[in-house]
Structure 1
């Protein structure tokens, strides 16, 4: 593994999940609307419990926090250039040199593709997901074309 490719790298392939990102954005919006709605309703409804402004802000804050967690699912990205492969999943990014990559596979029943490494290791590629169907097939094809061009 090496450091990040230089800033002037021209990426030949940039892949991101489509459906999961859309679902995540919609879910985040729903979480915010529901929690803000609950926060507003808490003060107006007589439930026998006294809710204060701090309770309302906490309810809205919980919705915002949960929405941010869900939006992490929009981060996955695969970038390919002559310098290597950059795989960013939910939290971290990993740079893989072409010399280490042994191909991309999409095992039966898997939710996303993976890049095969030596010694039976692999890196999951959450940017190419099975539920994206044709978009995923196209991304795998384009990756394999770049692999044929750059791998040893």
Structure 2
């Protein structure tokens, strides 16, 4: 039996919940207004069924965009660190990564690279509390195992 590819798979807990709630509310508002829009003369032109459908479809698009916030994930393994924020999935080898830190003022953790570069890791957020702290600690354990060095915690 082979070992799993990833030693740490972390997804935020609160962000997807809030995103689903927001998407449902946006969809409900657009459906309600789309159905309440009556076909009558409103001044400049008559509104028709296509306008009702358009309002509902705009709600579908906006809700779909909001639901992208359910996707963030951090995976760590021997190959390196894989970050999925909203759409792209990017894998960084251990030779590229300097560490993971949580900035004093920020929304998500930062994956650090040489030359003071970083990307935000939306999966690790302060509002997840102890779970996020545990994920940071586990990341540092794996970093020490695979890189042999750990950057000091900020």
| TM-score (structure 1 length as normaliser) | 0.87
Shift of residue 117 of structure 1? 1.0
Structure 2: stretches of 5+ with no match in the other structure: 149-154
Cα displacement string for residues 36-82 of structure 1 (whole angstroms, at most 9, x for unaligned residues): 111111127x6746431101100100100000111111111111111
Aligned-partner Cα distance in 2 for 1:48–1:96 = 56
Query: SS of the counterpart of 1:94?
Result: strand
Structure 1: stretches of 5+ with no match in the other structure: 1-7
State whether structure 2 residue 62 is matched by structure 1 residue 86: no
State whether structure 2 residue 97 is matched by structure 1 residue 101: yes
| TM-score (structure 2 length as normaliser) | 0.86
State whether structure 2 residue 35 is matched by structure 1 residue 40: yes
Aligned to 1:11: 6
Structure 2 contact 22–66 (Cα < 8 Å) conserved: yes
2:72 pairs with one of 72, 76, 83: 76
Structure 2 contact 41–47 (Cα < 8 Å) conserved: no
Shift of residue 85 of structure 1? 0.6
Aligned to 2:50: 54
Quickly say closer, same or farther: Cα 1:144–1:55, change in 2 above 3 A. Answer: same
Aligned to 2:136: 140
